[in-house]
Chain A
Amino acid sequence: AQKVTQAQTEISVVEKEDVTLDCVYETRDTTYYLFWYKQPPSGELVFLIRRNSFDEQNEISGRYSWNFQKSTSSFNFTITASQVVDSAVYFCAHSINTGTASKLTFGTGTRLQVTL
């Protein structure tokens, strides 16, 4: 069975600090997908990134970057120069695809609080 661990329950940083959110996954599948979603205080789930298991290239999108390392089963997320608007709960998720459904297994989330 798949498992996603986000060991950091809550992180507090001051604006402009860099912060890394850790994600470790367990899976027996050779083909799988990894995701990050953001849940701001308003409650909706906002998609940030999807990665497949064959693509270990790191990705950067503005202030966001992701580090995928199969050797350590990790998919960490870094926010550079954090802003108050980054305050949210961030979920890492693992998915296998059966051809008819994508079953996402979520981690327990990391609550990020960015203060002035």
Chain B
Amino acid sequence: DTAVSQTPKYLVTQMGNDKSIKCEQNLGHDTMYWYKQDSKKFLKIMFSYNNKELIINETVPNRFSPKSPDKAHLNLHINSLELGDSAVYFCASSQANRNEKLFFGSGTQLSVL
């Protein structure tokens, strides 16, 4: 069983389109995250949700809207895609009050043409 699974693995789309990436964790964690890895491999946090509540929002353009229907799911919707959105997006989860490590999904490679 995959602990943190995200779909799709690859996403190729045109500028201006709207797309979503889904993430699910089966670890029973209370906190989920989205990280972005750019072409230079730099990893930066975008959002964090704890029990469906937005906790961290790191000055991400409002074209990016995370949605957490329950604590096991955190989806990322992106409107009006731009070339600069091309990156690998990683979902992660952790049990925050135990200061544990983050478990990462395998990443979604988004290519905007």
Kindly state whether residue A61 has any CB partner on chain B within 8 Å.
Answer: no
Kindly state whether residue B103 has any CB partner on chain A within 8 Å.
Answer: yes
A101-B41 contact given A33-B99, A44-B107, A50-B101, CB 8 Å threshold: no
B 13-42 binary contact with A (CB < 8 Å = 1; else 0)? 000000000000000001101010000111
* A62-70, A74-82, A104-112 - interface stretch: A104-112
A43-B88 contact given A101-B50, A109-B41, CB 8 Å threshold: yes
Distance A101 CA – B71 CA, assembled complex (angstroms): 13
Query: What number of A-B contacts does a CB cutoff of 8 Å give?
Result: 67
- Is B31's CB under 8 angstroms from A43's CB? no
Determine the interface band of chain A, counting residues with CB < 8 A from chain B: 20 to 34
- Is B106's CB under 8 angstroms from A102's CB? no
Chain A: CB-nearest residue to B31: A101
Which residue of B30, B48, B107 contacts A103 across the interface (Cβ within 8 Å)?
A: B48
Binding site for A on B (CB under 8 A): 30-31, 33, 35, 40-45, 48, 50, 53, 55-56, 88, 90, 94, 96-97, 99-104, 106-107, 109
